[in-house]
Homo-oligomer: A and B are copies of this chain.
Amino acid sequence: MATQKSIADKLGLSISLVSRVLSGKAKEIGVAQETIQKVLDEAQRTNYTPNSAALSLRGVKTHTLGVISYDFEDPYFGIILGELHKIAKQRKFTLILAGSYHREEETLDLSAFAKHSIEGLIIVGSDRNKDWYEKFPQKSIPSVQIGFTTEKIGANICIDETVSASLIARYLQKQKTNNAALFFNHSLSHETFKKEYIEALKEHEITVLEDVICDGSLNSVKSGVKRLKSLPDVIIAGDDIMATKIIRSLHELNIKVPDDVKVFGFDNIAHSRNFIPSLTTLNPPIKEMIQAAFDLVSSPKASQETMRFTPELISRESA
């Protein structure tokens, strides 16, 4: 591997001179044009790449962000990571990954972040506690969470649950919906929205007949559907995946959507357009949210800001 020393030796110059040229500070300091060119040429020829270890040891900015994911199987995870990566690339940032599996009660491994010194932290997903943050050695770096939390540690990007709820309630009211059943799971995100939904529905004179809580597996959804005392006008699901499972369950019980009952989703996952029936749902402005998240976390000063984004109602076949 080519180093500044190898270039300096070859050219009979000093290392620091080479350093100046290679770090672009040649002009500023005043280096002979001819020397600059020689160094540049030799660097080019030998395929010189700065050694990051040395740089970060010297305290030079590493432009490295840590990403924590709470759920790799979230259908949006890939999209979010893709967007993050896109912006990171534009701005010459590197992404390092950590994650945890809530369900298995695993603890978050932060050694990855300590190992490479990260300059910002992006948390993807909602959570209820940040026990791992206790031991986090770099508490001063800017951080942002994309999702809901009960333990805010930095900036926060989420969807406006109040606006979302009234969007849905108004839509359903216009369709002369009188009553609804709710299918949500135990996640903080579901619970946050559900609370607002219940209120907004009441305000719009829609009765919540039942409030089903299930873990989201097809089986638990189906048994939830089976146990419904009566068929409501609409079933509101915590997310699109839940919605498809509800529709699938109804289908297996020979109940038609939307003729017998409407189903409302949330997320507008790629799949929702192709599903039969296609899903009426709320579309979060993902790109804008990720963009904002990146801006918050890559800025020099740590922010505590909370930004709420408004989703768009996508009216399709299911409701």
Chain A 63-95 interface residues, beta-carbon cutoff 8 Å to B: 63-64, 67, 69, 72-75, 77-79, 81-82, 85-86, 89, 92, 94-95
Q: Mark A136-179, 1 if CB is under 8 A from B, else 0.
A: 01100000000000000000000000000000000000000000
Subset of 25 A-B contacts with CB under 8 Å = A49-B111, A49-B115, A52-B53, A52-B114, A53-B56, A53-B117, A55-B115, A63-B115, A64-B115, A67-B97, A72-B79, A72-B81, A73-B82, A74-B78, A82-B99, A94-B112, A94-B116, A96-B96, A96-B116, A241-B274, A244-B271, A244-B274, A244-B275, A247-B276, A275-B275
A57 at the interface (CB under 8 A from B): yes
Question: Which B residues are in CB contact (< 8 Å) with A29?
Answer: none
A260 at the interface (CB under 8 A from B): no
Task: Given contact pairs A47-B137, A49-B114, A49-B137, enumerate 16 new A-B contacts (beta carbons under 8 Å).
Answer: A1-B138, A49-B111, A52-B53, A53-B53, A53-B54, A55-B115, A73-B79, A73-B82, A75-B75, A82-B99, A89-B109, A94-B112, A95-B112, A218-B273, A241-B274, A275-B276
Instruction: Among A53, A89, A95, A96, find the residue whose CB has the most chain B CB atoms closer than 10 A.
Output: A53
Please tell me the number of chain A residues within 8 Å of chain B, measured between CB atoms: 62
A51 at the interface (CB under 8 A from B): yes
Task: Give min CB distance, A217 to chain B, whole Å.
Answer: 11
With known contacts A1-B137, A109-B89, A52–B97 Cβ distance under 8 A: no
Question: Which B residues are in CB contact (< 8 Å) with A51?
Answer: 57, 117
A64 touches B116 (CB 8 A): yes
Question: Which B residues are in CB contact (< 8 Å) with A194?
Answer: none
A62 at the interface (CB under 8 A from B): yes
A186 at the interface (CB under 8 A from B): no
A270 at the interface (CB under 8 A from B): yes
Question: Which B residues are in CB contact (< 8 Å) with A251?
Answer: 276
Give Cα A271–Cα B47 distance, bound, in whole angstroms: 45
Q: Mark A118-139, 1 if CB is under 8 A from B, else 0.
A: 0000000000000000010110
User: Could you say which of B2, B95, B275 contacts A96, with CB atoms under 8 Å apart?
Assistant: B95
Question: Which B residues are in CB contact (< 8 Å) with A79?
Answer: 72-73
A262 at the interface (CB under 8 A from B): no
Give Cα A245–Cα B251 distance, bound, in whole angstroms: 19
A248 at the interface (CB under 8 A from B): yes
B52 touches A115 (CB 8 A): yes
Question: Which B residues are in CB contact (< 8 Å) with A67?
Answer: 97
Question: Which B residues are in CB contact (< 8 Å) with A116?
Answer: 52-53, 64, 94, 96, 116
Question: Which B residues are in CB contact (< 8 Å) with A99?
Answer: 82, 85, 89
